[in-house]
């Protein structure tokens, strides 16, 4: 089962926006996509979200890290249990608490071996560590799946997948090539802050998890001074591949602190759009369209800002029959099969690792 053939596999994702846990099933051999299965979602309760927020930036053994890891494990076990009996394998990403490639490394809270025992299912986890240890950024990891999706869609020209989670990331894909391992098949990198600053603002000022429908931002005016300062950040001149921690642009929150709620929301939304447009400057060739996943695709103010800046169609992935809430969970299902079969997860043009590299750990229920 782990070595050949098409597998029904479950993937999970708990992103930096801290909204909840996505779980999705796909059918794949780790190269092509054979089909899509069930999905599920478990929102973090307010107290769970606050605990995870308090543990951001923590490494194993530091204050509140162990509590956060337990929440991650318990919530994942709860939502995965409903689908565990319908699959042969699971991919567990965990919750990123700290990410410092080139420094302390990367840490995703949650023990996949514990979940394997509880669910009675082989679990692939710890996807990022091997890449970071080999000199890569450890992120983003979804590009291999994006390449497979482009093939599944039958795309014939370069296109981009944009994930608007807590942090934004872009994958440029050339589906005219046969294999993701080929030079020029993909280029991927983090663009900058996406939903995280806006979500933090909404939580701190209004007790809301996010700006639903971009309603608050639509009432405000983006602050030109803040955006000019933001656009001058050295990050935007760094050539990809490159990756961010959720709080690498923490000073942005201080800069919008004097603004009223609507103007602050408008400014943070405009900053997210600007970071995507600056990122697109690195594309090897123009794209025919941009397909958007993640919660930010539901914010029409953000989507309009990106489309205006890029000058190409910018559509939620639902426009091509995909589920934008589940792409990342599906990606970790896909990567679980690739990991179990020793196929590459990361590449020089996605994380900066020297050569295509596999990764992840496989835990069996009786380990």
Q: What is the pLDDT of residues 76-122, one digit of tens each?
A: 999 999 999 999 999 999 999 998 888 899 999 999 999 999 999 99
Supply the pLDDT for residue 140: 87
pTM for the whole structure = 0.92
Range 154-320 classified under CATH 3.40.47.10 = no
- For residue 138, is it left (φ>0), alpha (ψ between -120 and 50) or beta? left
Write out the H or E segment, with its range, that includes residue 291: strand 290-293
Residue 334: band (very low, low, confident or very high) from pLDDT cuts 50, 70, 90: very high
- pLDDT above 90: residue 146: yes
Q: 7-13 and 89-91: which strand pairing?
A: parallel
| Homologous superfamily (CATH) for 7-139+325-344+355-363 | ATPase, nucleotide binding domain (3.30.420.40)
Domain ranges in the chain are 7-139+325-344+355-363, 154-320
Supply the pLDDT for residue 1: 53
Helices (H), the chain: 46-55, 65-84, 112-119, 129-133, 143-153, 195-206, 215-219, 224-231, 251-256, 261-279, 300-310, 327-340
The lowest-confidence range among 240-254, 303-317, 320-334 is 240-254
Within this chain, domains 7-139+325-344+355-363 and 154-320 share the same CATH topology: yes
- Compute the distance between CA of residue 164 and CA of residue 167 in angstroms, rounded to an integer: 7
Supply the pLDDT for residue 327: 94
Q: What is the pLDDT of residues 199-251, one digit of tens each?
A: 999 999 999 989 999 999 999 999 999 999 999 999 999 999 888 777 788 88
Show the 3-state SS of 89-119. EEECCCEEEEEECCCCEEEEECCHHHHHHHH
| Angle, alpha carbons 126-132-138 (nearest 5°) | 70
């Amino acid at each position: 089962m782990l070595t050949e053939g098409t597998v029904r596999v479950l993937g999970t994702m708990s992103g930096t926006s801290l909204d909840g846990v996505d779980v999705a099933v796909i059918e794949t051999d780790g190269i092509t996509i054979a089909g899509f299965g069930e999905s599920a979602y478990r929102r973090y309760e307010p107290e769970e979200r606050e605990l995870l927020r308090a543990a951001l930036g923590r490494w194993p053994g530091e204050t509140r890290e162990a509590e956060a890891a337990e929440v991650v494990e318990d919530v994942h076990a709860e939502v995965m249990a409903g689908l565990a009996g319908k699959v042969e394998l699971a991919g567990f990403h965990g919750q990123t608490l700290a990410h410092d490639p080139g420094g302390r490394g990367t840490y995703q809270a949650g023990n996949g071996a514990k979940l394997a025992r509880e669910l009675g299912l082989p679990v692939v986890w710890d996807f990022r560590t091997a890449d970071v240890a080999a000199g890569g950024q450890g992120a983003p990891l979804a590009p291999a799946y994006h390449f497979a999706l482009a093939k599944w869609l039958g795309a014939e020209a370069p296109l981009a997948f944009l994930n608007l989670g807590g942090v934004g990331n872009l994958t440029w894909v050339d589906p005219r090539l046969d294999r993701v391992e080929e030079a020029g098949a993909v280029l991927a990198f983090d663009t900058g802050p996406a939903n995280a600053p806006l979500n933090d603002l909404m939580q701190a000022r209004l007790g809301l998890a996010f700006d639903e429908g971009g309603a608050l931002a639509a009432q405000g005016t983006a602050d030109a001074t803040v955006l000019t300062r933001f656009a001058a950040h050295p990050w935007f001149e760094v050539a990809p591949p490159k990756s961010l921690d959720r709080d690498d642009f923490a000073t942005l929150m201080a800069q919008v602190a004097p603004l009223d709620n609507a103007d602050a929301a408008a400014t943070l939304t405009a900053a997210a759009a600007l970071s995507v447009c600056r990122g697109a400057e690195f594309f090897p060739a123009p794209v025919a369209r941009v397909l958007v996943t993640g919660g930010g695709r539901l914010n029409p103010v953000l989507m309009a800002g990106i489309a205006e800046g890029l000058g190409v169609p910018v559509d939620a992935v639902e426009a091509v029959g995909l589920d934008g809430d589940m792409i990342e969970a599906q990606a970790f299902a896909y990567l679980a099969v690739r990991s179990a079969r020793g196929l590459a997860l990361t590449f020089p043009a996605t994380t900066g690792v020297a050569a295509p590299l596999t990764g992840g750990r496989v835990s069996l229920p009786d380990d």
